[in-house]
Amino acid sequence: METARSQPDRFTVLTIEARDLDTDAREQSVSNVVAPIDPGAQRAALAEAVGRLFPRARLRSFSNGAATFLDTQHLIVASYSELPQANRREPGDAPERQQTPLFAA
C-alpha cells in the first residue's frame, strides 16, 4: 500500500544563530529536525523554534528554508541545512509558470 508521502521522513539540522545588537556577542542553537516540505510550513516551524528561544522576536524575511528575525536586542537567523527534495531547485531551472508584470511599462 502506498502512502501519501513520496519520501520517508529525513532529519536535517536546524541552526539558530543570534547576534546581540549592542555587544556583537553570538549564541547558537543546533538541533536535528524534520523539515516540512511546504515552504509555508517551513516558515511557521522556523518561527515556532525561534519563538521558544526569543519570545519577542518578529519575522523579518523568509526564503529557501532560512528566515531572519529581530527582537529588541538580537538579530536572529534560523535555517535548515537541507530542504526536502520536493523544494530543491537547481540554479537555472525554468520556473513552472511566468509571473506577469503588475504594471505596464
pLDDT score, position 10 = 81
| Alpha-carbon span 77 to 84, nearest angstrom | 19
Written as tens digits, the pLDDT of the chain (105 aa) is: 444 444 556 889 999 999 999 999 999 999 999 999 999 999 999 999 999 999 999 999 999 999 999 999 999 999 999 988 754 455 555 555 555 555 555
**Cβ density class 31-63: b for 16+ within 10 Å, e for less:** eeeebbeeeeebbebbbebbeeebeebebeebe
Helix or strand holding residue 61 (H, E) = strand 58-63
pTM, full prediction:
0.72
